[in-house]
Amino acid sequence: MGDVVRVSQSSPEPEALERAAEVLLGKGTLVMPTDSVYGIGCAALPDNPAHERIFAIKRRDRSLTLPWLLADASDLGRFCADAPEWAYAVAQAFWPGALTLVVRASDEVPACYLRDDGTIALRVPDSELVRALARMVGVPLPTTSANLHGLPAAGSFSDLDPRLVAEADLTLDAGELPLGVASTIVDCTAGRPRIVREGPIAPGAIEEVAHGARGHSVSLS
């Protein structure tokens, strides 16, 4: 069975952060809590074998791609290209939080992490733990829900499949998570928001922010 370390999401212990960062920088796989559900991820390093291992551990089709968890909202401008102003406004309103934005990727995103249409899904989770890890390793964390493909996502450590924990290099146990449901996904590649998956953030709230931002300049700090 893979190693398991207890951790606080809001005030992560330095020893746990260092252990997890060591696994990520060593091109390993990490099961970690987020604000929504438990995820299994790696570091977005070039030619990282852990990226492929995640698909094998989940028994997931390699044609699918992994969303990136970012350290800060300001990273949106770095990893996306030609996003509409309303997308920045939506990020400003709901990040950190359970909102994933699908955007056209910039040249800083390696091809192996891209969808076939050149897009990538980005999120800044409301988790000090995950954001601190992304800062420590210096790159985003490609992460998907920590469950065998087709089975329910885990909203608490006790919900994790033991087989998945056994195959990952390290699992961080934060007990039960605040939300327990997957994030809202919004496609930002068209003229208005398109809800790909409904989640904790209501579509109406997203549309309201996007509508108010059209024609206005928005910056993320």
- Note the pLDDT tens digit of each residue in 40-67: 999 999 889 999 999 999 988 877 789 9
- CB burial of 82-99 (b: ≥16 within 10 Å; e: otherwise) equals ebbebbbbbbbbbbbbbb
Tens digits of per-residue pLDDT, 110-137? 999 999 999 999 999 999 999 999 999 9
Per-residue model confidence (pLDDT) at position 218: 41
Instruction: For 197, list phi and psi in degrees, rounded to 5.
Output: -145, 130
The answer to whether 146 and 31 are in contact (CB under 8 A) is: yes
Residue 31 has pLDDT above 90, yes or no: yes
Mean pLDDT calculated for residue range 154-180: 94
What is the percent of the chain with per-residue pLDDT over 70, rounded to a whole number?
96
Which pair of structure tokens corresponds to residue 121? Answer: 């899904």
Q: Which pLDDT band holds residue 216 (cuts at 50, 70, 90)? A: very low
Tens digits of per-residue pLDDT, 67-91? 999 999 999 999 999 889 999 999 9
Average pLDDT of the residues of the chain: 92
Which of the following CATH numbers is that of domain 3-213: 2.60.120.10, 3.40.50.300, 3.30.70.980, 3.90.870.10?
Answer: 3.90.870.10
The answer to whether 88 and 80 are in contact (CB under 8 A) is: no
Per-residue model confidence (pLDDT) at position 1: 56
Query: Domain residue spans in the chain?
Result: 3-213
Instruction: For 38, list phi and psi in degrees, rounded to 5.
Output: -70, 140
Q: What is the C-alpha to C-alpha distance for residues 8 and 99, in angstroms, rounded to an integer?
A: 22
**pTM score of the predicted model:** 0.92
Tens digits of per-residue pLDDT, 192-209? 899 999 999 999 999 999
Instruction: Check residues 212 and 30 and name the one with the higher pLDDT.
Output: 30
Residue 29 has pLDDT above 70, yes or no: yes
